[in-house]
């Protein structure tokens, strides 16, 4: 059985972290073997969404109990939903807390239960507010680049002639689809921008083959984020995956447009 | 025995993200500023075109927010993580596709997690399927339909799902070599 103890450092002499979500490390100990590992807590970086990653980390490490100073109600709810016990109000060194836990001296913190009349409310207020905030943040983070793209399209519509853009494409289906896939691979950002750009390119007479390849590779191939993918998943995986996705985008774009033309004819 | 895993998230890169978001729109605004001094009539026309475009997309954007809210209310990252680790059999494939489709947020946020999952035993196939099926964005479907029509969206979505499975199979085989 594994347990996670929030910690200020990487060994058993370190102090127990005050808050589960933002402590610098989690010491994950296997009670069976006595082995432990110190994992950097993603939540300690204080960025949006990293608190959730702390919970996910605990779940993915197959931890059965979390020992910490304080655990927020939201984190507690997620952990308990996934069968993880929570022990709070702890202080001292990680080693001391671990020994107390082994001896059964630490009592589980009871969850503050929310009384709810049957059938009255499916989603409680706190969860709804949290989801609203999260959606608001996600929506807001999408807007700056999106507005930039909309403004840029206004410029293109006004200053760039239809003939100029059409001249960039040869009229050859495979070559134009390849070009669309290429532009989609080097551009990055929220997929909504690819829809807006693609939709406007259609107005300019650019083929649906090109636009479809651009939309596909916009999300599936990422030259900009390739270094991050290599760092996370390895060079071979990242290069192979991006290469296959790029090559596959061309037949998929051609097949998509072919079927659409068949259906809508 | 102890070990320290420090590679999960890079601090310096993440901190720059919010400021970086504004670089592109700021550059476009600078171009507008320059054009307003050179050719104010055409620059105003460009601005009006952008305004019209924004007005056209506004309605689908409302639906985008509603679907985002629904996903945030009923789908949790922890549930998405649990969909992994089933191997490349049919159940694992389906679950990886579903995980990719319902996952939200920038891909950068998912890389540390995927790395961690692979260290825990998740296969290359399911990870590749997850990354590809992220191309299906349920919350952006209203915008996509507004631009390309539902027939196009349905066909592309289905082909994207099939392609994600094909890529997962390719990656499983090729990574073993």
pLDDT tens per residue across span A220-243: 998 877 887 888 888 999 999 999
Is B171–A244 a contact, with Cβ atoms under 8 angstroms apart? yes
Between residues B121 and B45, the one the model is more confident about: B45
**pLDDT reported for residue B108:** 66
Contact A74, A54 (CB under 8 A): no
CA nearest B119: which of A167, A10, A62? A62
The residues near B125 (Cβ < 8 Å, ≥ 6 apart) are B87, B88, B92, B93, B96, B168, B169, B171, B172
Supply φ then ψ for residue B89, to 5 degrees.
Answer: -75, 175
Lowest mean pLDDT among A110-114, A224-228, B28-32, B97-101: A110-114
Is B3–A37 a contact, with Cβ atoms under 8 angstroms apart? yes
Return mean pLDDT, chain A.
Answer: 82
What three-state secondary structure class fits A89?
coil
The shortest CB-CB distance from A151 to any of B25, B137, B144 is to B25
Contact A7, A16 (CB under 8 A): yes
Angle at B9 between CA B3 and CA B15, to 5 degrees: 145
Nearest-CA distance B100 → chain A (Å)? 11
How far apart are alpha carbons B80 and B101 in whole angstroms? 10
The DSSP result for B77-111, as a single string, is HHHHHHT--STTSHHHHHHHHHHHHH--S-HHHHH
Q: Residue A118: count other Cβ atoms within 10 Å of its Cβ.
A: 4
**pLDDT reported for residue A117:** 43
Is B78–A78 a contact, with Cβ atoms under 8 angstroms apart? yes
Strand order in the sheet with A36-40: A85-87, A63-67, A2-7, A25-30, A36-40, B2-5
Is A135–B65 a contact, with Cβ atoms under 8 angstroms apart? yes
Q: Which of A28-32, A50-54, B64-68 is most confident? A: A28-32
pLDDT-derived band at B52, boundaries 50, 70, 90:
confident
**pLDDT reported for residue B148:** 93
Nearest-CA distance B91 → chain A (Å)? 19
How far apart are alpha carbons B153 and A212 in whole angstroms? 10
Q: Across residues A42-60, what is the average pLDDT?
A: 69
Nearest-CA distance B92 → chain A (Å)? 17
Which residues of chain A have a CB within 8 Å of the CB of B4? Answer: 10, 37-40
For residue A261, give both structure tokens: 């033309």
Q: pTM value?
A: 0.62
The shortest CB-CB distance from A37 to any of B2, B15, B18 is to B2
Whether the per-residue pLDDT at B18 is higher than 70: the answer is no
Pairing of strands A85-87, A2-7: unpaired
CA nearest A187: which of A158, A221, A151, A150? A221
Whether the per-residue pLDDT at B83 is higher than 90: the answer is no
CA nearest A67: which of A112, A38, A106, A11? A106
How far apart are alpha carbons A178 and A199 in whole angstroms? 18
Between residues A184 and B157, the one the model is more confident about: B157
Contact B6, A40 (CB under 8 A): yes
**pLDDT reported for residue A116:** 42
Is A52–B77 a contact, with Cβ atoms under 8 angstroms apart? yes
Which residues of chain A have a CB within 8 Å of the CB of B48? Answer: 154
- Model pLDDT for residues A76-131, shown as the tens digit of each residue: 877 877 778 888 888 888 988 888 888 888 876 654 443 344 444 455 677 788 78
Is B28–A151 a contact, with Cβ atoms under 8 angstroms apart? yes
Residue with tokens 């950002």: A189
**pLDDT reported for residue B145:** 93
Q: What is the ipTM of this complex?
A: 0.73
pLDDT-derived band at B4, boundaries 50, 70, 90:
very low
Is B72–A233 a contact, with Cβ atoms under 8 angstroms apart? no
The DSSP result for A44-61, as a single string, is GG--TTHHHHHHHHHHHT
What three-state secondary structure class fits A184?
helix
How far apart are alpha carbons B126 and B134 in whole angstroms? 12
Burial string for B56-88 (b: 16+ CB within 10 Å, else e) reads ebeebbebbbebbbebbbeebbbbbbbbbbbbb
| Cα dist from B141 to A147, A198, A234, B138, whole Å | 19, 14, 32, 5
Residue with tokens 């320059």: B34
pLDDT > 90 fraction of chain A, expressed in percent and rounded: 19
Residue A65's H or E segment, with its range, is strand A63-67
How far apart are alpha carbons B135 and B100 in whole angstroms? 8
Which residues of chain A have a CB within 8 Å of the CB of B64? Answer: 139, 192
Nearest-CA distance A158 → chain B (Å)? 5
Residue A38's H or E segment, with its range, is strand A36-40
Whether the per-residue pLDDT at B7 is higher than 50: the answer is no
Between residues B157 and A60, the one the model is more confident about: B157
């Amino acid at each position: 059985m594994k347990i996670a103890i929030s910690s200020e450092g990487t060994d058993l002499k370190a102090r127990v972290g005050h808050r589960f979500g933002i402590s610098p490390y989690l010491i994950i100990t296997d009670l069976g073997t006595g082995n432990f590992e110190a994992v950097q807590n993603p939540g300690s970086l204080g960025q949006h969404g990293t608190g959730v990653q702390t919970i996910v980390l605990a779940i993915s490490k197959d931890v059965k109990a979390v020992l910490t100073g304080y655990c927020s109600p939201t984190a507690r709810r997620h952990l308990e939903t996934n069968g993880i016990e929570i022990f709070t109000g702890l202080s001292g060194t990680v080693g001391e807390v671990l020994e107390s836990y082994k001896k059964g001296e630490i009592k589980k913190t009871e969850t503050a239960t929310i009384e709810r009349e049957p059938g009255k409310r499916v989603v409680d207020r706190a969860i709804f507010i949290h989801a609203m905030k999260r959606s608001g943040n996600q929506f807001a983070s999408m807007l700056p680049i999106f507005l930039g793209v909309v403004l840029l399209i206004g410029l293109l519509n006004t200053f760039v002639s239809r003939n100029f853009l059409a001249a960039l494409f040869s009229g050859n289906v495979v070559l134009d689809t390849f070009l669309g896939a290429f532009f989609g691979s080097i551009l990055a950002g929220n997929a909504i921008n690819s829809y807006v750009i693609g939709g406007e390119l259609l107005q300019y007479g650019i083929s649906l083959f090109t636009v479809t390849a651009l939309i596909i590779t916009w999300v599936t191939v990422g030259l900009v984020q390739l270094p991050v993918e290599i760092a996370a998943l390895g060079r071979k995986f990242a290069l192979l995956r991006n290469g296959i996705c790029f090559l596959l985008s061309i037949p998929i774009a051609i097949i998509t447009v072919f079927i659409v033309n068949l259906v809508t004819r | 025995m102890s070990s320290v895993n420090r590679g999960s998230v890079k601090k310096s890169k993440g901190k720059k993200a919010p400021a970086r978001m504004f670089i592109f729109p700021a550059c476009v605004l600078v171009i507008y500023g320059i054009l307003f001094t050179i050719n104010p009539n055409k620059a105003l026309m460009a601005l009006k075109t952008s305004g019209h475009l924004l007005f056209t997309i506004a309605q689908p954007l409302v639906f985008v927010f509603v679907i985002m809210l629904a996903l945030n209310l009923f789908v949790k990252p922890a549930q998405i993580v649990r969909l992994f680790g089933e191997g490349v059999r049919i159940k694992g494939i389906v679950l990886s596709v579903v995980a990719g489709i319902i996952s939200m947020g920038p891909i950068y946020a998912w890389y540390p997690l995927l790395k961690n999952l692979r260290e825990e035993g998740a296969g290359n196939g399911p990870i590749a399927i997850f990354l590809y099926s992220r191309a299906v964005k349920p919350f952006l479907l209203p915008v996509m339909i507004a631009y390309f029509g539902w027939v196009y969206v349905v066909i592309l979505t289905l082909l994207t799902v099939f392609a994600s499975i094909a890529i997962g199979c390719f990656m499983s085989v090729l990574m073993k070599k």
